[in-house]
Copies of this chain bind each other. A is one copy, B any other.
Amino acid sequence: MMVMNLFDIPGHLRDKEFFESLLPDRGILIERIISTGQASPTGFWYDQDRDELVMLLQGEAQLAWPEGRTLSMGRGDWLLIPAHERHRVERTSSDPPCIWLAIHGQLT
C-alpha cells in the first residue's frame, strides 16, 4: 500500500506553483498546492463555481477580496470561500514553501 505525504515537496519544484489532486474529481476535488512566492496575476480574481475550504498546512500567505479586505494566513489556518466569492492570492512565502490543501465542492 502506497502512502503519500502532504508535506513532501517535489524535487522538480521551480518557479511554478505545483498542483495535484489527491483523488480523481468526482464532484469533490481535494487538491494540494505548493506555492513558492507566487501571487495571483495583477487584476486577476478567482471566481469559482464551487465552494472551497482552503487550509494552509505550512508557510505564510495573504489573501485579498475586491472590497479591500485582506487576510494573513499562517500554518494551520483555514477558511471557507463560498462559490463565486471573488478573491485573490496576494502573497505566498517561499521559505518555507506554502503547502495548501483545498477542498472544492458543494460544501454549504
Contact = CB atoms under 8 A, between A and B. Distances in A.
Interface stretch (A10-18, A38-46, A69-77, A89-97): A69-77
Interface in A1-15: 1, 3-8
Contact of A78 (B5, B74, B77): B5
A69 B1 CA distance: 10
A90 to B, nearest CB: 15
A28 interface: yes
Interface of A: 1, 3-8, 22-24, 26-28, 30, 53, 55, 57, 69, 71, 73-80, 101, 103, 105-108
Contact of A79 (B1, B103, B108): B1
A107 B22 CA distance: 10
A104 to B, nearest CB: 11
Nearest to A32: B78
A30 B30 CA distance: 12
